[in-house]
Amino acid sequence: MPEKCIFLDIDNTLYSAGTGISAAMGKKIHEYFVNFGFDEAEATELHLKYYTQYGLALRGLIMHHNVDPVDFDKKCDGSLPLEDLIKPNPRLRTLISDIDRTKASVWALTNAYRPHAERVLRILNVDDLIDGLIFCDYQQPNFVCKPDAQYYHQALAKAQVSDPSNCYFVDDSRLNVKAARALGWGHVAHFCETGLVHVEGGKVKEISGDRQVEAMSGIDVITDLEELRKIWPEVFISLS
């Protein structure tokens, strides 16, 4: 196997936050809270609280309300009109195709459940370019997700990476990339579409990043995935 491993986040990374998927997802999750029995204010409060504390609102619902995660996935991720929101991306396909597979394998690394992750990759027409998928297994009791350290350790084990310094990772979440960098992942990039808005924990936020601060932590900040060619030239096929 190649010595290096590239981990690509999926949602709001392989497609732009401008698609509105995070807003659609936030609405579905809010509706789930309300249909579960919370009033509008409680639903809003708990959605943000659980997302902030556990990385996924679903984890809080499981821990405190015994929610069936598969039912949650069916009614939230599974009900999104993804085909209307994202389309095949030739530019993304070329970028991933240009990674030198003699040097690096390519894995998707997501907090979503397998069906959603596979669906997005298929719609984007890059599913055949991904060597492996790390996802949150909702059928496993006490499953972990980014930015939990155990999630990253499990990812290394599944991808058979023994040295975290050989990891390359890009994610739209500052928390997720900081967690990976703290664990010694060698090449970490924060995909930051500054100025766009997305939804986190049901709350609308403007995307922002501080290149200087994150650079001091060994994290690159990029606004376009094409910039990976510049910051990770060693893993791409040389055109010279």
Query: Does an H or E element contain 105, and which?
Result: strand 104-109
Q: Which residue has the higher pLDDT, 1 or 40?
A: 40
The pLDDT of residue 24 is 95
pLDDT digits (tens, 9 = 90+) for 50-59: 999 998 999 9
Whole-angstrom distance, CA of residue 72 vs CA of residue 95 = 34
Distances (CA, A) of 117 to 1, 6, 15, 120, 164: 24, 17, 12, 5, 24
Residue 138 predicted with pLDDT over 80: yes
pLDDT for residue 211? 65
Per-residue pLDDT tens for 94-137? Answer: 999 999 999 999 999 999 999 999 999 999 999 999 999 999 99
pLDDT tens figures, 187-204: 999 999 988 888 888 888
Residue 238 has pLDDT above 90, yes or no: no
Encode pLDDT of 205-217 as tens digits: 888 766 666 777 8
Contact 148, 140 (CB under 8 A): no
The band of 240, judged by pLDDT with boundaries at 50, 70 and 90, is low
Say if CB 67 and CB 99 are below 8 A apart.
no
Q: How confident is the model at residue 156 (pLDDT cuts 50, 70, 90)?
A: very high
Distance (Å, whole) CA 137 – CA 58: 12
Q: What is the pLDDT of residues 48-92, one digit of tens each?
A: 999 999 989 999 999 999 999 999 999 999 999 999 999 999 999
The token duo for 68 is 């069936």
Fill in the DSSP letter of residue 79.
Answer: G
Report the alpha-carbon distance of residue 199 to residue 54 in Å, rounded. Answer: 16
Which pTM value belongs to this model? 0.92
Where are the alpha helices (H) located in the chain, listed in sequence order? 21-36, 40-54, 57-65, 69-75, 82-85, 90-97, 114-123, 149-159, 174-182, 211-216, 228-231
- Structure confidence by residue, pLDDT tens digits, 120-129: 999 999 999 9
Give the model's pLDDT for residue 158. Answer: 97
**pLDDT attached to residue 164:** 97
